[in-house]
Structure 1
Amino acid sequence: MKRLKFTLILFLTISLNGFSQTPTDFLSKEFHKERRDLLRSKMPANSVTVVFANPLRNRANDVDYVFHQDPNFYYLTGYREPNGVLVLFSDDQTDADGNTYNEILYVQKRDKRAEQWNGKRLGVEGAKNELGFKMAFNASEFIESNIDFKKFDKVFIEKFNDDYRNLSGADVFDLVKSFKQKSGYDPNIFLSQIKKYVYSNVAETPIESSANVISIIDRMADRSSEIKNDELLNKYKSAESDKLKNEIKQKISLALKPKTNIDLSFLSANLATMREVKTAAELKLLTKAVRISAVGQIEVMKAMKPHMSETELQGIHEFVYKKYGAEYEGYPSIVGAGNNGCILHYIENNKTKVANDLVLMDLGAEYRGFTADVTRTIPANGKFTKAQKEIYDLVYEAQEAGIALYTIGEKMSAPNQAARKIINQGLFELGIIKSVDERHNYFPHGTSHHIGLDVHDPGNYNTFEENMVVTMEPGIYIPEGSACDKKYWGIGIRIEDDILVTKKGPVNLSAEAPRTTEEIEKMMAKKSVLDEFVLPNLDK
């Protein structure tokens, strides 16, 4: 009997501590509640926020893409499944039993058959126990609910993309459809940015200056079919009298102030402000994602050989991510050898041999929802040529100058301006451009963006604040056929690091991965654990 009892205890111990182990270092339910409370504090009285989970998306036939939650929905709830809705009220509500509440989470229903095929669902009880919601229901109950969205002064939502399929059950398609019906949502009353711009010009310009406005309409019509085919704008242009023009102008002015309680700007604007400054809990996870990505760069530096393919190098990076328990890549991995490195978002990664080219590697691990963004450019044979080093050192100098400006209160545009000045001067001195003021396409992008739950995290991009994490990524790209010395053709270089803004100055979270040409060559001379990892030849 004692032996049986010991065996049972051992089995339970293994089951609980071995087979059933899952990550425990996600953001806590307290974090998500604090974020909801902060958002609620920004909401005006008698308002409601509605946020939808991401849908499942189809890859091909009966295979879906691996599900990834909408970052804003995850930020506010911690829920990592599709087919959910968060309803957040500014003021306490009262149910039929007299209970008060100020938030409801709707989740996909537990289903034994579905869970047998696709894994366990959290369900209503899980939403309460693990996510900390007092009011949680199955998603189908949102469709059946009697929430009167029209009674609120403001209903805050994000713009619908309407790019989801209608599946069985209470999926996102049905949830959004139900909301639109309950709220009286009409997409036609929401103006696009370009239409808002043109309408504002019409509304604000005196009739006697209508010729100026018409020239703006014509110019924008050449760029946008939406403006070209707009009925009110065309009537304004063809109106034969000032009186008629003024009548149409009044209609356009009214269109700028739609009669609806639905607001598409409040939620995205406030979440951008909240998400651009990281909490201690966020910094812990984001820093780990960055360091994982830096280690990936190190291991590839040691393992890289000219006979390798871009795909193989991508695989080493992503193997390191998985080895550390990262769930995904934060974005499609970029591994571009030679001229491929001059393609900013090159993701084919299908060159079969990197040979003696430079290899630009822009990759980031996603760890517990947080995404790094680290780029290194290294010579496949372990040694920079003179021309490669000239361009690389110029990019490095520009990056160093930019990083130094990641200080509290500094304009976020300052690093880009500093880097651009250095690069233009350097390109001029190398004879690649004819003057420091020449307009060119060798440095076609900005240097700085927030990272977090998105690789391009939302933000206001005004000034640096403490605990922002922002990339610094200058680059120079000289594709084959450029109007310069051929020795520079096919050189594409980007150096990207993730910088934490602190009271003591900038902290480079990805500094573990070598950046200077000397450090890179030294690291590439080291032995790799993968040197002896040889697979059988399947083509013989």
Structure 2
Amino acid sequence: MFKQRREKFMGLMRGGIAIIPANAEITRSADGHYPFCQNKNFLYLTGFPEPDAIALLMPKHPEHRFVLFVRPRDKSREIWDGRRFGPEGAKSQFGADVAYTIAELDEVLPRYLENQDVLYHGFGNDPAFDARVHRWLDMVRGKSRQGVIAPAEFVDPNEVIHEMRLIKDEHDLATMRAAAKISVGAHIRGMAVTKPGMFEYELGAEMEHHCRMRGSRNQAYSSIVGSGDNANILHYRENDRKMEDGDIVCVDLGCELDGYASDITRAWPVNGRFTPEQKIIYDLVLKAHQEAIKRAKAGNTIRNTHETAAKVLAQGLIDLGILKGDAETHMRVCIGDDKETRFPEGQPVLKDFYMHGTSHWIGMDVHDVGRYRKGDQWRKLEPGMCFTVEPGLYFSVDNPRAPDRFRGIGIRIEDDIHVTRGEPEYITKGLPLTSADVEAACRGDFPMP
């Protein structure tokens, strides 16, 4: 699989050499580190899991088309930090044509730069590493009197890799489905255990425990568990409030599995039963969610899902007497297409209650790579693309335009969708959708995936 990806990438190169670095470990405190997360472009092409490595890809090299620089075997460090593959493991287990230790970088890598016309390197991502690349280039340029040529053209390889990653292959999709299945179960578990008096972090711990016990070692992002008015904070992080009877809790939580993300949001009543006001808002958000997913088809655009969701929400708020005017205008103003319309001062507008986009790409990164536009046009959806659909409505207590009856309610419903040649696929299938399903899950009466 990784070899096929490298071959495809090298087929898109115009000769030359590509330098693809791994991530380094990041210090958390003193000599302790954060859990290591590999650079996803590097992982996509190599599968190599260790920090500090560097891959070279050279489609026209007669023998060394794929080169790895890795940490050396070190018995002392391996006692403390775990086993390393070393150069031999890089060759035997990851398919490198040749492998060196990272201590040999300054001596060996400049030789591979010699007489290459194009250098593929993403300048601007890591200034310290960029400085090393410039030093290596200067070393090659210093041999110009000997007839050695240094690369004179520079191309960002990330653009090429990102376009490859945007269209998921069967391995991508299988792993994303597996990650989603775990996260779906975590949300169903969360609904069943939620009760008044529980802290947000306790609920998050129950759900993350479910993920860990099923093979996910990390969450794809910091879990958001917002109850009461905290549900109206989009990227709420504290998770430290005691949940109360009558609250809604909005949980945005998804695990990572084998380098692939899942991203799910559901909102449910802490006591297991929606109030009439909560149900009105939940059902409206669900309608926007369902209508938007109908647009997740090849030939449409990711913008179409946003337009659809925003228009449904606008019409629903008009029907409730919260907004005045027509849904089309509110939608166009909200998404930024209409910059001319001015509503009367003090009059509520859709963006008062729906202030974020409806979708983003998802894959190895939770906010995955790939351009959303081609030139000045939104790009057409193609089979293999995966993205979220996540409309919401937020009535913060301190929002003066929020009606009293809905204040403190924040609801978002998010699923991960795969564009196929036919109908959209729910990657996150098996989740409660309707308000009745959610209440059943809160009673423990909804099936696990």
State the alpha-carbon separation in 2 of the partners of residues 510 and 103 from structure 1: 36
- C-alpha deviation, 1:138, in angstroms: 1.0
Alignment of structure 1 residues 142-221 onto 2, 5 Å: 142-145=105-108, 146-147=110-111, 149=113, 151-162=115-126, 177-184=131-138
Amino acid of the structure 2 residue aligned with 1:53: A
Tell me if 1:135 matches 2:98.
yes
Aligned length: 406
In the alignment, what sits opposite 2:407? 489
1:114 aligns with 2:77: yes
**Within the alignment, does 1:480 sit opposite 2:434 as a pair?**
no
Letter of the structure 1 residue corresponding to residue 84 of structure 2 = R
1:273-305 CA-to-partner distances (Å, cap 9, x unmatched) read 100111111111110001110000001111111
1:89 equivalenced with 2:58 (yes/no): yes
Please report how far the alpha carbon of residue 148 of structure 1 lies from its aligned counterpart in structure 2 after TM superposition.
5.3
Structure 2 counterparts to residues 274-353 of structure 1, below 5 A? 274-353=164-243
Deviation at 1:184, TM superposition (A): 4.5
Q: Which residue of 2 aligns with 1:372?
A: 262
Distance 2:93 2:425 in 1: 34
The 1-side partners of 2:396 and 2:275 are apart by 17
> Unaligned regions of 5+ residues in structure 1, if any?
1-30, 94-99, 164-172, 186-258, 529-540
Structure 1 match to 2:430:
512
Query: In the alignment, is the contact (CA less than 8 A) between 1:148 and 1:183 conserved in 2?
Result: no
Rg larger for: 1
Q: Percent identity of the aligned residues?
A: 35
Aligned-partner residue type, residue 32 of structure 1: F
Residue of structure 1 in register with 2:155 after alignment: 263
State the distance in 1 between where 2:24 and 2:50 align.
Answer: 9
How big is the shift at 1:501?
1.4
Determine the structure 1 residue equivalent to 2:371: 460
Partner Cα distance (1:117, 1:311) in 2: 32
Match of 2:387 in 1: 470
For residue 360 of structure 2, what is the aligned residue in structure 1? 449
Identify which of 61, 72, 75 aligns with 2:30. Answer: 61
- The aligned amino acid for 2:237 is I
Which runs of 5 or more structure 2 residues have no equivalent in the other structure?
140-150, 331-348, 373-378
Match of 1:220 in 2: none
Deviation at 1:352, TM superposition (A): 2.6
Structure 1 position 141, deviation (Å): 1.5
User: CA offset at residue 52 of structure 1?
Assistant: 0.6
> SS at 1:498's partner residue?
strand
Quote how far apart the aligned CAs of 1:70 are.
0.5
Distance in 2, matches of 1:397 and 1:326, equals: 32
- Give, as a single letter, the amino acid of the residue that structure 2 aligns with 1:321: C
CA deviation string 1:351-380 (max 9, x = no partner) = 133442100101111011111001100010
Deviations 1:296-326 (A, max 9, x none): 0001111111111110010011101111111
Residues in 1 aligned to 2:283 and 2:19: alpha-carbon distance in whole angstroms: 49
Kept after mapping to 2: 8 A contact 1:337/1:358: yes
From 438, 443, 448, the counterpart of 1:525: 443
Asked if 1:385 corresponds to 2:385, the answer is no
Q: C-alpha separation between the residues in 2 aligned to 1:503 and 1:160?
A: 38
Alpha-carbon distance in structure 2 between the residues aligned to 1:260 and 1:321: 49
| Deviates further, 432-441 or 363-372 | 432-441
Query: 8 Å contact 1:87–1:103 — kept in the other structure?
Result: yes
Conservation of the 8 A alpha-carbon contact between 1:402 and 1:418? yes
Partner of 1:204 in structure 2? none
Cα separation, partners in 2 of 1:114 and 1:475, compared to 1, 3 Å: same
Give the distance between the partners of 1:467 and 1:392, measured in 2 at CA: 30
* Contact 2:388–2:417 (8 Å) recurs in 1: yes
- 1:331–1:363 contact (8 Å) kept in structure 2: yes
Q: Does 1:104 align with 2:104?
A: no
Give the partner amino acid of 1:404: K
Secondary structure at the counterpart of residue 160 of structure 2: helix
Alpha-carbon distance in 1 for matches of 2:114, 2:350: 53
RMSD, matched Cα: 1.9
- For 2:397 and 2:190, locate their aligned partners in 1 and report how far apart those are by CA, in whole Å: 26
If asked which structure has higher relative contact order (CA below 8 Å, sep 6+), I would say: 2
User: Which residue among 232, 245, 248 is the counterpart of 1:358?
Assistant: 248
> In structure 2, how many angstroms separate the alpha carbons of the residues matched to 1:514 and 1:159?
45
Give the counterpart letter for 1:402 in structure 2.
Answer: A
Q: Is the 8 A contact 1:306 1:355 kept in 2?
A: yes
Q: What SS does structure 2 have at the residue aligned with 1:502?
A: coil
Report the counterpart of residue 44 of structure 1 in structure 2.
Answer: 14
Quote how far apart the aligned CAs of 1:421 are. Answer: 0.5
Q: Would the aligned equivalents of 1:303 and 1:527 in 2 still touch at CA under 8 Å? A: no
In structure 1, give the amino acid aligned to 2:8: L
1:155-177 Cα deviation digits (max 9, x unpaired): 111234438xxxxxxxxx6x654
Normalised to the residue count of structure 1, the TM-score between the two structures is 0.72
Partner amino acid for 1:367? Answer: L
In structure 2, distance between residues paired with 1:158 and 1:327 = 29
The Cα offsets for residues 78-99 of structure 1, whole Å up to 9 and x where unpaired, read as 0111010011113124xxxxxx
Distance 2:281 2:138 in 1: 57
Change (3 A) 1:111 1:421: same
Deviation larger for 475-484 or 373-382: 475-484
Separation of aligned partners in 1, 2:83 and 2:47:
16
Q: Report the residue type matching 2:155 in the other structure.
A: D
CA contact (8 A) 2:25 2:33 kept: yes
Q: How many Å separate the matches in 2 of 1:183 and 1:261?
A: 12
Between the aligned partners of 2:173 and 2:198, the Cα distance in structure 1 is 35
Q: Given residue 153 of structure 2, which amino acid in structure 1 is its aligned partner?
A: N
State the alpha-carbon separation in 2 of the partners of residues 370 and 361 from structure 1.
20
- Residue 333 (structure 1) shift: 0.6
